[in-house]
Amino acid sequence: MIKRLLIANRGEIAVRIIRACREMGIATIAVYSEADAGARHVQAADEAVAIGPARASDSYLSIPKVIEAARASRADAVHPGYGFLSENAAFAEACDQAGLVFVGPPAPVIARMGSKIEARRVVSAAGVPVVPGETPDDQSDQGLAAVIERVGLPALVKASAGGGGKGMRVVRDASEIDGAVQAARREAAAAFGDPTLYVERLIEKPRHIEVQVFGDAQGRVIHLFERDCSAQRRHQKVIEESPSPAVTPAQRSRITEAAVAAARAVGYRNAGTIEFLLDPAAGSFYFLEMNTRLQVEHPVTEQVLGIDLVRAQLLVADGQPLPWTPAALAPRGHAIEARVYAEDPAQGFLPQAGTLVRYQEPRWPGVRVDSGVGEGDEISVHYDPMIAKVIATAETRELAIARLASALREFAIDGVRTNVPFLVALLELPAFGAGQVDTGFLDREAAGIVATIKDTGDAAPAPAGNPPNAPPSWDPWDAPPASVRTTASPRAQAPQRRKASAAAGGALTAPMPATVVKVHVRAGDAVKKGDIVVVLEAMKMELPVRALGDATVAAVRCREGELVQADATLVEFA
């Protein structure tokens, strides 16, 4: 049996794995960056090993450092969690070569299913329908543009090596192609260490249905029913639930059978997820991708089935058979999960960084909270801004939704703004209650939902440079996420004065600590309102900073690769 497990991750998933190990009598070793020296997962583990600077590429994404930490701590197995190195075939191979048990599928399986084009080929050969698309051998801007033309608009440009909405852009018009390709490539490289992109046709208004699958070394592959992840914003999941309100019993049978067929076709082992797009009206579904790891939303399946997926992962990695049979598994009631983020919905969901001066999780019957933080902890600019996951379980979907909303109202967080009020407003929408949410619903309706939220003023103010009365349309992907500072005052101006200020000797400032990934202008350049001037990266997302008015660039005060602080001047205007 595995005796000493190194967890190659951080935050709530590391804490979740540690808890499963305690029940099983497995010693745990945490790894941590300089920014995480006092983090909860470090405190919870039996031992902890420092692996480098805050920047993920120099710590959590460094295969040599993680392997060395495992050797130094005498670990006999490694659990990758999700994100970071969890779907990195080279990491799984490095673990194998170092004599470490990798808690996940074999490296060749990760490689096959991690390649979008190979995954599509494999599942298509197994009879699973796929969305039209392709990955070009020519990964240049011109090569990807040619593929988009062949696939047809609207299209999705996606990172071949990852998911979670990172490295993904929608293209509806030919004029958007170059910008979408370049932005997706940068995000893919930053998030997954692989800039390879692929293109697929955009299916309008689908449901996002995923099936949890599990395989063991004895050749058994089973499904653990479906989760509905249609409530997502910018391809980032917000609410997940099981069973899906959109799936009929006949559809459930076809989708779960297809998921098992896909997993068997690749010889899958351990926990994985097959993702599909469902057209509820037509009843058709298409393979989207396979995640060769544990999902963020795995608690939904655990709660509705009464099982422990992490425990099963460890048993299967140890060579033992699956601890359940399909006949023994049946959904009981309904489970629903909300992701709580440090972000400000009123500022276009701009990620927030800061100290949790108050943090009190809800205590409610039928409610589970998975988190990796506590009061006094820091939400760092270097990592994903998720604070916690709140999962409610009840006899019916209606009661589960009401229970989750009630629990969220009791979630007391001060020090950073969060999306909790937005989550409550979403859960109480008639359309959500009726199960009428497709994957584009929040992109269409988010601004309207935000407008209904009353600002109680119980959260800390936004970081320096974020005007508190900025318009709801301020979105880090497609609207100006930066303030104007004039020579008359360094304080952000009201929205109605921005155009004049920007054109009359103002400056664009950073809305939060971030890394400059691209500078689009030079001194002397003329810019128009809405032009992208600088692209920042923070909390695993790109934030384009746009000109707030017609102006001429007087000076560029930042350089690519530089870490800038909140309110730092990026560009000055003449």
Alpha-carbon gap, residue 314 to 78, rounded angstroms: 10
Cα-based distances in Å from 59 to 311, 336, 345:
27, 33, 31
Nearest to 570 by CA among 480, 454, 469: 480
Residues with Cβ within 8 Å of 447's Cβ and at least 6 positions away in sequence, in order, are 472, 473
Which residue's entry shows tokens 């990934």?
A: 517
Structure tokens at 556: 């560029």
- Write out the DSSP string of 146-181: HHHHHH-SSEEEEETT--TTTT-EEE-SGGGHHHHH
Alpha-carbon gap, residue 251 to 186, rounded angstroms: 38
Parallel, antiparallel, or unpaired for β 354-355 and 334-341? unpaired
Q: CB atoms < 10 A from the CB of 189, how many? A: 17
CA 309 to chain centre: 20
Parallel, antiparallel, or unpaired for β 207-215 and 270-279? antiparallel
Find out whether 4 and 73 touch, Cβ atoms under 8 Å. yes
Residue 329 has phi, psi (to 5 degrees) of -110, 125
Find out whether 382 and 59 touch, Cβ atoms under 8 Å. no
Structure tokens at 2: 């595995």
Which residues participate in catalysis according to the annotation?
A: 293
**DSSP assignment, residue 538?**
E
**DSSP assignment, residue 338?**
E
Q: Which residues partner with 519 through β-bridges? A: 534
Instruction: Kindly give the interhelix angle for 309-317 and 11-24, rounded to the nearest 10 degrees.
Output: 70
Q: Exposed, middle or buried, 459 (CB in 10 Å: 0-12/13-18/19+)?
A: buried
Cα-based distances in Å from 409 to 450, 454, 460, 465:
16, 13, 17, 29
- Write out the DSSP string of 82-145: SSTTTT-HHHHHHHHHTTPEESSS-HHHHHHHHSHHHHHHHHHHTT--B-SEE--S--SHHHHH
- HEC sequence for 310-322: HHHHHHHHCCCCC
**DSSP assignment, residue 1?**
-
Structure tokens at 186: 């940068």
Outline where DSSP puts E strands in 397-492: 412-414, 483-485
Residue 171 has phi, psi (to 5 degrees) of -120, 115
